[in-house]
Amino acid sequence: MSRYFKKQKPPKAATADIPAHTPAQSHCPTRLFVTRIHDGRCEQKEAESAADCAPRQGDDFIWVCVQGMAHASQIEEICNLFRIHHLNIEDILNTDHITKLDIFDEYTFLIMKSMTHPAEGDPHARQLSFVLGKDFLLSFLEGEEDLFLPLRKRMLKEFPFFMAMGTGYLAYSLMDMAVDRHFEVLEYIDDEIYKLEEETTTTSTQENLGRIQTLRRKVIMVRRAAWPLRDVINTLHRRDNFIRGEKTGIYLNDIYDHVLQVVDTTETFREVLSNIFDIYLTSAGNRTNEIMKVLTMIATIVMPMTVITGIYGMNFKHMPELRWIFGYPMSLTLLVLVGAGMLWYFKKHDWL
């Protein structure tokens, strides 16, 4: 149970002025990337402190991309600059939080799960939080990988398009990149399942059983990351918020379709892994049957030999063969003939 469920510990101290937080499980250094649009220009830079992330007069829009959750105090300071509620700050800093959506008059707050790239090693889930207001976006991504670098480069070139589409389109782009990462992980799992299936049909080893269980856990992890997004997107469609605008509704439908595809794919993988597990059990059973077959053959061949040697091992006084000069060679010959006859009989009936 402990592998699939982690109980949320209550914060030790939480006040309206000093929000409590739990240390992030990732100790990657916190990096701050600021994108500002003002006076018809788009500027991007990596900030050195939280003060550099503060909104300025004349900004049409500002996006603060926080990469890495190690410096909790710095993250709290950034959130306070944009008047984020202290309970939402706690949720941002608690990287084990479940998928969540809060809609306020001032901003929309969303927590979802992204996945690490398979090229970095064993894929695992990481938390992505973002706060979207009328003219600002704060994104907080756990881990070291800069997932949104391509988006920042694109925004630098196409910022008039982003402004024309509205701030909700940028939030959609973040969600879309996070969901698309699920497909990369599923492709990685698909390759691993194919290799495992090929090996299991030929050889059934204890190592294959461990790999089956590992892939099952990965599929469950992806499913748990994607499944809650269905309810999140449905809620975004039903209620007024800063993500769903006049031009972004159709894009949310696109994410919804991707989420359904991810969930359906995980269900398919679970069925395939169950079939592979059945193949493993069948192969292991067949191997055990083969071993028992060989042992039974040996016992059957040895049984009449044991009877013959038992008869002549009784040591009665009046046994003519005991004093016969050819008694010993003939008994050995008889044992060989019996064994050879049994082998011939088994071969004839294709039991060997």
- For position 118, which CATH number holds? 3.30.460.20
Residues 233 and 352 in one domain: no
- Position 294 in a domain: no
Expressed in angstroms, the distance from the first to the final Cα of the chain is: 47
Residue 153 covered by a domain:
yes
For residues 165 and 277, state if they share a domain.
Answer: yes
Q: If we measure between CA atoms, which residue out of 241, 224, 233 comes closest to residue 258?
A: 233
Give me the amino acid identity at 329.
Answer: P
344 is a domain residue:
yes
- Top pLDDT among 240 and 49 is at 49
Helix, strand, or coil (residue 325): coil
Residues 88 and 228 in one domain: yes
Q: Quick count: other Cβ atoms within 10 Å of Cβ 74?
A: 17
* Average pLDDT, rounded, for the chain: 83
| Residue, of 282 and 261, whose pLDDT is higher | 261
Long-range contacts of 343-351 (CB under 8 A, 24+ apart): 343/301, 346/297, 351/293, 351/297
pLDDT of residue 27: 61
Looking at the predicted structure, is the pLDDT value of residue 4 above 70? no
What's residue 10's pLDDT? 41
Domain range for 351: 312-352
Instruction: Give the list of residues 6+ apart from residue 47 with CB closer than 8 angstroms, or none.
Output: 32, 33, 34, 53, 64
Evaluate whether residue 35 is within a structural domain. Answer: yes
The C-alpha angle with vertex 133 and arms to 140 and 44, in degrees rounded to 5, equals 60
Q: With 60 as the cut, is the pLDDT of residue 18 above it?
A: no
Q: What is the model's pTM?
A: 0.75
Residues in a beta bridge with 180? none
**Would residue 10 count as lying in a domain?**
no
Residues 165 and 99 in one domain: yes
Is-contact 233 259, C-beta < 8 A?
Answer: yes
How many domains, the chain?
Answer: 2
Whether residue 213 sits in one domain with residue 96: yes
Mean pLDDT over residues 57-85, rounded?
Answer: 89
Q: What is the dihedral of CA 276, 280, 282, 285, to 10 degrees?
A: -170
Per the CB < 8 A criterion, the answer to whether 5 and 220 are in contact is no
Asked if residue 48 belongs to a domain, the reply is yes
Among candidate residues 41, 61, 43, 62, the one with its CA nearest the CA of residue 53: 62
The answer, yes or no, to whether residue 19 has pLDDT greater than 80, is: no
| Contact in structure between 77 and 144 (CB atoms under 8 Å) | no
Tell me how far apart the alpha carbons of residues 68 and 134 are, in angstroms, rounded to a whole number: 25
